[in-house]
Amino acid sequence: MKMAQADDHIRKGPWTEQEDLQLVCFVGLFGDRRWDFIAKVSGLNRTGKSCRLRWVNYLHPGLKRGRMTPQEERLVLELHSRWGNRWSRIARKIPGRTDNEIKNYWRTHMRKKAQEMRKRGTAMTSIASSSTINTMTESPTKSENVLGISNRFPGNKGSCNTTDLDANGERDISEEEDYSMDRIWDEIASPEDEVNSAQVFNEGYYNTKNNKEVGCSFSCPPMASPLWEFSSESLWKMDDEDEMKTLVHMGGTSDHFNSTMNTVDYHKLCFR
DNA sequence: AAAAGCCGCAACCGCCTTAGG
DNA sequence: TCCTAAGGCGGTTGCGGCTTT
């Protein structure tokens, strides 16, 4: 909590319209880089971090609002299956969407999926072995342990642990009903699974302890440097032909790739 | 109509990385 | 090379609105 203690008058919580206006104004003047500086000169009693977050997640003119399109949803699933919870990385490939938005979407998505699964009472064994789920749409959000699910989900711990079956050899539903997402994730996360994940997908994986990429065999560009270049031109640039192909393949439109500062939209966003 | 529960999202926290001196 | 400040990122929380009971 080093930032807060510097100034007791630092504002927190929801941003007011007035604050938004001020921030937009000063970002226009000084660019979207020097957040501490902007926070100071703007007179906003906010931290630079808070300003940056507000801009990135809400005020940036390139942002799309509203529900994810099916194409975007598929892209999120696809990319998450590759990279796990690298939200900012995923967000860079989905024009107009922020890491926060995608993160929130995924969370909701996972919750729904988990509920559906519980309702159906289906064992994850069949799910994990199902080819229809090869992109790991049910993959966990915690860490990149997208595999190892099959022998870790309720009723199938330690691969077919018979203690999960009742006397008749049937599944103990009560335990499944008790299964929260957090618990599912806890079950999923384990070091050996990281390796399994990488082995199976052969697409790169991370050391979740320190978030270091420890292997990457799929063709992906190196980590893009900043979220966007220092310009208001476009937040999401397609800098890779493959990525463009992917998006075209996913059926996405290319309109927003070229999105530039549109004054009308900008003001719609900022002054709505 | 009111209360409870659920959901979506904005924002914060704390750790890690990077850049500059 | 080391140190420090700022930026970036992923995880988490809390609130407001909507839906259900």
3-state secondary structure A179-231: CCHHHHHHHHCCHHHHHHHHHHHCCCEEECCCCEEEECCCCCCCCCCCCCCCC
What pLDDT, on a 0 to 100 scale, did the predictor assign at position A118? 59
Measure A255 CA to B12 C1' (Å). 33
Which nucleotide is closest, CA of A59 to its C1'? B10
Which nucleotide is closest, CA of A112 to its C1'? B7
What pLDDT, on a 0 to 100 scale, did the predictor assign at position A254? 32
In chain A, positions 69-98 with C-beta closer than 7 Å to nucleic chain C are 85-89
Q: Give yes or no for CB of A183 within 7 Å of strand C.
A: no
- SS3 (DSSP) at A43: coil
Give the global pTM: 0.57
Q: Give yes or no for CB of A226 within 7 Å of strand C.
A: yes
Task: Determine what percent of chain A falls in helix, strand and coil, rounding each to the nearest 5.
Answer: 50, 5, 45
Cα gap A126→A128, rounded to integer Å: 6
Measure A90 CA to B16 C1' (Å). 19
Q: Which nucleotides of C are covered by protein (CB under 7 A)?
A: 5-13
Chain-centroid distance, C-alpha A174:
31
Cα gap A110→A138, rounded to integer Å: 7
Whether residue A206 is predicted with pLDDT greater than 50 in this model: the reply is no
Measure A15 CA to C14 C1' (Å). 15
Specify which residue's alpha carbon is closest to the C1' of nucleotide B14: A1
Q: Give yes or no for CB of A50 within 7 Å of strand C.
A: no
Whether residue A175 is predicted with pLDDT greater than 60 in this model: the reply is no
Contact between A234 and A259 under an 8 Å Cβ cutoff? The reply is yes
> What digits encode the pLDDT tens for the residues A15-53?
988 888 889 888 888 888 888 888 888 888 888 888 888
Q: Find the radius of gyration of the CA atoms of chain A.
A: 22
Cα gap A197→A149, rounded to integer Å: 10
